[in-house]
Amino acid sequence: MKIVRCILMAVLAWFLLVFAYGIATYPDAPIKPGNNGTYTGTYTGKTHRKHTEAEYYAFLRWQTLLMISGPFGLAAGLILPRLKAKKTGTESRNCLRR
């Protein structure tokens, strides 16, 4: 059970790090091509700050990584407290009663 907890904690930590990296690196996300939906060779964020093509593609890679790791991080975050409660025997039985 310790190995499972360690793996789940690593998955959750990975997701939180990816999320924090994106918040710190792309404060004006989402970055979109063009101005007002038309492609003009420029890339802008929601604050209308101009970005390079390399920054735009880096944002797309981060966004894809976040969408892939998000469900795994969410699942790990939901499973970890249940494993801890089962281990200590402190799981509440009141939630099962009606």
Average pLDDT over residues 4-17: 92
Convert the pLDDT of each residue in 43-81 to its tens digit.
888 888 888 889 999 999 999 999 999 999 999 999 888
Convert the pLDDT of each residue in 13-28 to its tens digit.
999 999 999 999 988 8
Predicted local distance difference test score (pLDDT) of residue 59: 93
Instruction: Extract the tokens encoding 22.
Output: 């994106």
**Range of the structural domain that residue 69 is part of:** 2-96
Predicted local distance difference test score (pLDDT) of residue 36: 58
Total domain count for the chain?
1
- Buried/exposed 46-55: b ≥16 CB within 10 Å, e otherwise: eeeeebeeeb
pTM over 0.95: no
End-to-end CA distance of the chain: 31
